[in-house]
Structure formats: structure tokens, C-alpha cells
Amino acid sequence: MDFNVKKLASGAGLFFTRAVQFTEEKLGQAEKTELDAHFENLMSRADCTKHWTEKIFRQTEVLLQPNPSARIEEFFYEKLDMKAPSRVTNGELLGQYMEDAAKEFGSETPYGNTLIKVGECERRLGAAEREFLQTSAISFLTPLRNFLEGDWRTISKERRLLENLRLDLDACKTRLKKAKLAEAKAAEHELRVAQTEFDRQAEVTRLLLEGISSTHVNHLRCLNEFVEAQAAYYKQYDLDEWFRFIGLPTKLLPNAFALNSTHAMATPGPASEGITSPVETDTLKIEEVQAPATGTRKAKVLYDYDAADSSELSLLADELITVYTVPGMDSDWLIGERGNQKGKVPVTYLELLS
């Protein structure tokens, strides 16, 4: 019991000391140990990552499940570590109703026969939607949630601990300044201990913050998987194929859609002739590209990148390369050079230097 009382009193004293130090700093009556610029940039980058990851996560949830009641239900199932019941999509339900209606009207009648065909299309779309929702939840939402509920909580905890140790360190510095000659030795010892603990915690926190780069790489991979799932889903919306399956003449297709069975989705807008798709343009011949006399810049590589083909340049994090653009090149890419090697490099993997 005496031990618990002493421990409680010690904790209360420590809390009070930190509160006094914090208040005096705010009032400009005490010095504050500042973190170096690199450390501050790491914290700012981590805060920015958390902010936008949270927004993207919440809005993706709304996209995949617009019904707030259903989202709340899924949330409780998740917290209770229970599997949520499988939901029938609206498309699947509509398809089932159409097929049931066709049985009542007679499948040999024109109306009944068409109901069966349209109902099958609707069920296929509904099944594709369900697969898209499940794939997106696993490959995209889950990694974002794991970061917010796992990695970010760890980072926040270590940052709070670092701030507390920083307050302790500055409080020791203040006591040393005010200490009398007889108390100076003890105050110096306290300061050395506080400095050691602060430096150790700063290193732990720095390593966690630097891990945000790996988080970006992981989220980039998850984002690509999300886009692939979307493309596979929208590929089901091939109106040309639908019309042939149902038996409608394709001349009835609306001009509001530029239909092309080779594309993943129909693009709204007037159909245009004579417009060449970016994928149909001549492949850039890297060996023929020459660096311009002016306009080249240095760039620092943020993440490792493996070239997809011979026209691209593989990158290693933290290396410096020379970059420049060439006429007609996609704005998401630059030409990168490293010694006698050159190739296309993605802009998102670079930090352009002045």
C-alpha cells in the first residue's frame, strides 16, 4: 500500500513538473528544446499521411457502401470479430425478380424471353459488383484501416512519450540553471539521464516516422489493386455485348457513349472520330532521346522502383538522378539519367530539387 501511494505521489509530481514546464514555455518564460528540421519534416509528412489516409478511407467506405446503416452494422460485426452476413446486391435482386416475372408471363413470349435475358445481365452485373466490393475491402480498405488503427497509433504513442521526455529534459535544464552550488552536481546528473532517455526515444520515433515511406509504397500497391478491381468491374458494362445478347440492333446504342469493347469502361461524352488513344501512339525510343541543352534538373528518389520494361529506368531510394522532359511525353513521367543509363521514371517517385 505504501508503495502504491509513493508511486502515485511520484507520478503526480512528474505530471505537475511537466505541466509547469509546458505552461512556462507557452508564456515564453522557459526555453524549449527544438527538434531538428529533418525530424520536423518527418512528423509533418506523417501527419499529412494520416490526414489524407483517413479521408480516403472514409470516402471509399461511402463509395463501396452508401447505406450508413449497413456500414454501422458491418462495423459492429467487425468489432465483435464476427463474419457479416453476405448481402445480395440490388442488381442480383432485380435480375431475380425479372426471371421470376418471366416464368409468370411465359418465357416463350417476347416480353418473357427478353426479361430472362435482361435478368441474366443484371445478375451478372450484381455478381460483378459483389466481387468488386469484396476485393476492394480486402485489398484496399483493410491496409488503410491497419495503418490507421495499428501503425499510426504506435507512432502517436511514441510521439507523446517523446514530448513528455522533452518536457522532462527542459525541466532539468531549468532546475540546473536555478540550482545552488550544493545542488548543482545532482542536477547535472538528472540532466544527463534525461538527455539520454530523450535521445533514445527520439531515435525510436525517428525510425517509426521514416517508415512512412514504406507505408506509401504499400498503399500505392493497394491503390493499383483497387483500380484493377474497378476496371474488371466496369468491364462488365459492355453495352455492345449486351445489345447482341438481348437481340437489340446495335444502331440503337446511344451516341452519348464512346463504346469500344477493348476498353474497360464506357466513357461518357460525344463519340469522336480520328482521335488516337494514348496507348496507340508510337512507343518512345529511349535510345534516341537526347538531353536538352537547358531544362534538366536533379531529383532525389523517394522509393525503390522496378522498371516494367526496357524503356523505363529502375530506381533506388535516396539516390540522385538527372531528369528532364521531352515533347509529347505524358506529364506523369520524366526521362531519368544515371551515368550512361536512361529511361522513363514516374514523377510520383521523385522529389525534384532546385
Residues for the chain: how many in total? 354
pLDDT, residue 108, reads 86
Task: Give the span between the Cα atoms of 172 and 182, in whole angstroms.
Answer: 16
Question: Averaged over 228-243, what is the pLDDT?
Answer: 82
Measured between alpha carbons, how far is residue 265 from residues 62, 64, 73, 181 in Å?
21, 18, 32, 80
266 close to 312: Cβ distance less than 8 angstroms: no
pLDDT, residue 80, reads 59
Residue 218 pLDDT > 70: yes
pLDDT, residue 59, reads 95
pLDDT, residue 94, reads 95
Higher pLDDT, 335 or 245: 335
pLDDT, residue 84, reads 64
Angle at 148 between CA 146 and CA 153, to 5 degrees: 105
Question: Averaged over 164-168, what is the pLDDT?
Answer: 91
Q: How does residue 104 score in pLDDT terms, banded at 50, 70 and 90? A: very high
Identify which of 4-13, 176-185, 195-204, 267-276 has the greatest average pLDDT.
195-204
291 close to 328: Cβ distance less than 8 angstroms: no
CA nearest 207: which of 245, 257, 151? Answer: 151
What would the pLDDT profile of 244-290 be if each residue is shown by its tens digit? 777 665 554 555 444 344 343 333 333 333 333 333 334 566 666 77
- Could you give the dihedral angle defined by the CA atoms of residues 133, 135, 137 and 142, in that order, rounded to the nearest 10 degrees? 180
pLDDT, residue 279, reads 34
pLDDT, residue 227, reads 94
Cβ–Cβ contacts within 10 Å for residue 152, how many? 20
Q: Cell digits for 166?
A: 522533452
Measured between alpha carbons, how far is residue 22 from residues 7, 105, 166, 168 in Å?
23, 79, 10, 10
pLDDT, residue 230, reads 92
Higher pLDDT, 117 or 329: 117
Residue 68 pLDDT > 90: no
Measured between alpha carbons, how far is residue 30 from residues 27, 173, 221, 253 in Å?
8, 10, 47, 75
pLDDT, residue 157, reads 96
Residue type, 202: A
Q: Supply φ then ψ for residue 267, to 5 degrees.
A: -105, 120
Q: Which domains does the chain have, with CATH numbers?
A: 11-243 (1.20.1270.60), 297-353 (2.30.30.40)
pLDDT, residue 269, reads 38
CA nearest 271: which of 245, 241, 239? Answer: 239
Task: Give the span between the Cα atoms of 272 and 217, in whole angstroms.
Answer: 37
Residue 25 pLDDT > 70: no
**What value does the mean pLDDT of the chain take?**
80
Measured between alpha carbons, how far is residue 263 from residues 68, 123, 231, 234, 277 in Å?
33, 22, 9, 9, 10
> How would DSSP label each residue in 146-214?
HIIIIIHHHHHHHHHHHHHHHHHHHHHHHHHHH--HHHHHHHHHHHHHHHHHHHHHHHHHHHHHHTHHH
Out of 57-71, 109-123, 224-238, least confident range: 57-71
- Could you give the dihedral angle defined by the CA atoms of residues 172, 175, 181 and 183, in that order, rounded to the nearest 10 degrees? -70
